[in-house]
Structure 1
């Protein structure tokens, strides 16, 4: 058991996670259990017994966290544009079907059942307009930044079940399982640290947007520690973006790694690159390459660029272009993209993949670190219609000061303005004269 850590920023974040280093970042020889704090260590003991509100108030108080929150608040207050490569939205990428099929009745029925079972006050708190700014208030830390909707752990069990039924009815079976697995791993972390009142499988906010309808646009949002899912249905298309899924640890004694299959396909793709391809695709030789420009590694986000409050980030294309991949490599790239889109039900996933396929020659694949899986790594798929990334992180509640593969963050975005289905909503309003 590890009992202490040299933390230079605050009790959780050390400068080691952002400092460039010439030596390789090696994977730990053992598993996550070698990086557990002693349960009596101050980094855990000072929070024990606190509820999420008390914890959040204390966690937000250090100067470092206040600066971080101020920067996120500035981003949150910006008018929505969308992630772009140069600050200019590529118009016309997202087209609704000419004839919209009615929305599947399952999610609508589940949402109506949830609303029917809530009190008047709860209905008022859970419901927002489709254009509400709260769509963009989601976050993934374990402490509360914005309160949006209802907190699951504050609800009666049958109301929690009703809220999760909306999620289940809207997603594919395998996608729902992945979301619930990430939520369960949060509960596992709470058990490991003996902090179940801070981290559990109901540490999440749930909200509805618009009026659930078989024909009119509407959506929902679920977010909290290591899980954020935004769902909207409009004009026959579903959008599940932004999505943030992660875990620390990303596995347990009874569960395989959360993204094991995705990582293996990514390593297969990276390992298949020729020397000429690798020269382009491998942007940095390690996840803490000193060649990275100042600020490229963020103390909270580390390498990922599309997390909370980064709705308008300018992300230049980098790496290897899809047109320079072989057919087999393009198939592997598509398989990774498909796994990121797993939350979508089958027909919607195929429609979104068709959009991805249409822009494969304009899609970029970038990699940081060794390509054989011997080191922690970061990769990004960046298409005009999809941005997906996976990043290995240093410890927060575990004591690994350097990135390890048992702390994983992933993000999914619809660049050029279709996060939260906003590009589809704009077209819907234009077609119908609503809005």
Structure 2
């Protein structure tokens, strides 16, 4: 059902575009740009939301919503709205706009294989469709500022559980397990995998979920589910805390740069918040071996497009 819904909405999007914009939106499935992604302000393939009519803009948002749970769609559009907050803070120097997001289609919607990506600053969602199967990965959400506050209360905070559950897990770990989870006293400046097309296996550093006491194992499962549950229900896979590893870098106190990752079979989650006084978060859900639909494609195509 999800594959058919995506194809239908993507077709509506193309039908709502004029010829020039349709040319910007449509690419061959074999185009190398299909696997070139970024989460920073930069040129990217596709047609920008800026200047689209209501019908096309609505279709673009509805296509994004086919891949995401309702709460994750709300997170994504909140992140997009933060571009206006940033533009105000920068006094227009960065020329930011909440419509600086792009939708690109690779292949023909409804064909045997096709893909789409919705992307802009701090939002990147790639869906690959093969027949009735759909893989959504990489899925990146960031937030700058991570929190806008008034009198100590968050007015806007798009990624709350991503931070709060990780801190709760770290605090719940017994001393020996916490020592195992802490892999560095200083957080890296960004997620370690960056915008790599394929994620080489990272060493499974940190503490193993199978070693955790009940409450900590439950928190690890909840934290991993925050990321998996960003996907529409039909696209989720079960989370098995006992097969995961959790690693933390940086101080435990709020206001300091911090990083964590969760990894297990076919799953990699990274979160980093180090910039702007630890008020600028990056988070990503990746599927090693399955990003960009690699597991859905014939072997020769997967190898070609994974570099």
Q: Which interval holds the TM-score relative to the shorter structure?
A: 0.7 to 0.9
TM-score by length of 2: 0.87
Task: Kindly indicate whether residue 196 of structure 2 is the aligned counterpart of residue 309 of structure 1.
Answer: yes
Larger strand percent: 2
Contact kept? 2:184, 2:248, Cα under 8 Å: yes
Contact kept? 2:190, 2:282, Cα under 8 Å: no
Q: The residue matched to 2:35 in structure 1 has which SS?
A: helix
Partner of 1:283: 183
CA distance in 2, matches of 1:197, 1:275: 45
Task: Kindly indicate whether residue 167 of structure 2 is the aligned counterpart of residue 267 of structure 1.
Answer: yes
Task: Kindly indicate whether residue 104 of structure 2 is the aligned counterpart of residue 207 of structure 1.
Answer: yes
Partner of 2:32: 133
Contact kept? 1:140, 1:224, Cα under 8 Å: yes
Cα RMSD, aligned residues only: 2.6
Which among 105, 110, 123 is matched to residue 9 of structure 2? 110
Unmatched tracts of structure 2, length 5 or more: 303-307
Question: What does the per-residue CA deviation read over 1:168-224, in whole Å, with 9 as the maximum and x for residues that have no partner?
Answer: 2332211211111111112221122232872111112210122222x8343310112
CA distance in 2, matches of 1:275, 1:159: 54
Q: The residue matched to 1:153 in structure 2 has which SS?
A: coil
Contact kept? 1:251, 1:258, Cα under 8 Å: yes
Task: Kindly indicate whether residue 45 of structure 2 is the aligned counterpart of residue 148 of structure 1.
Answer: yes
Task: Kindly indicate whether residue 106 of structure 2 is the aligned counterpart of residue 223 of structure 1.
Answer: no
Contact kept? 1:186, 1:226, Cα under 8 Å: no
Partner of 1:379: 260
Question: What does the per-residue CA deviation read over 1:98-133, in whole Å, with 9 as the maximum and x for residues that have no partner?
Answer: xxxx44543222111111111223223212233431
Contact kept? 1:237, 1:348, Cα under 8 Å: no
Look at both structures and tell me which one has the larger radius of gyration over its CA atoms.
Answer: 1
Which among 413, 417, 420 is matched to residue 286 of structure 2? 413
Question: What does the per-residue CA deviation read over 1:242-277, in whole Å, with 9 as the maximum and x for residues that have no partner?
Answer: 122112112335733221122111111111111111
Judging changes above 3 Å, is the alpha-carbon distance between structure 1 residues 306 and 256 closer, same or farther for their aligned structure 2 residues? same
Contact kept? 1:151, 1:204, Cα under 8 Å: yes
Unmatched tracts of structure 1, length 5 or more: 1-101, 288-296, 396-402, 431-435
- Listed as ranges, the matches of 1:48-59 within 5 Å are none
Contact kept? 1:228, 1:242, Cα under 8 Å: yes
* Structure with bigger RCO (C-alpha 8 Å, 6+ apart): 1
- Listed as ranges, the matches of 1:378-397 within 5 Å are 378-395=259-276
CA distance in 2, matches of 1:129, 1:331: 44
CA distance in 2, matches of 1:230, 1:389: 17
Q: The residue matched to 2:125 in structure 1 has which SS?
A: strand
CA distance in 1, matches of 2:155, 2:128: 30
Partner of 1:124: 23
Partner of 1:176: 73
Number of residue pairs matched by the alignment: 298
CA distance in 2, matches of 1:228, 1:426: 25
Judging changes above 3 Å, is the alpha-carbon distance between structure 1 residues 139 and 104 closer, same or farther for their aligned structure 2 residues? closer
Judging changes above 3 Å, is the alpha-carbon distance between structure 1 residues 117 and 194 closer, same or farther for their aligned structure 2 residues? same
- Listed as ranges, the matches of 1:8-407 within 5 Å are 102-103=1-2, 105-144=4-43, 147-195=44-92, 198-213=95-110, 216-253=112-149, 255-287=155-187, 297=188, 302-309=189-196, 311-349=198-236, 352=237, 354=238, 356-357=239-240, 360-371=241-252, 373=254, 375-395=256-276, 403-404=277-278, 406-407=279-280
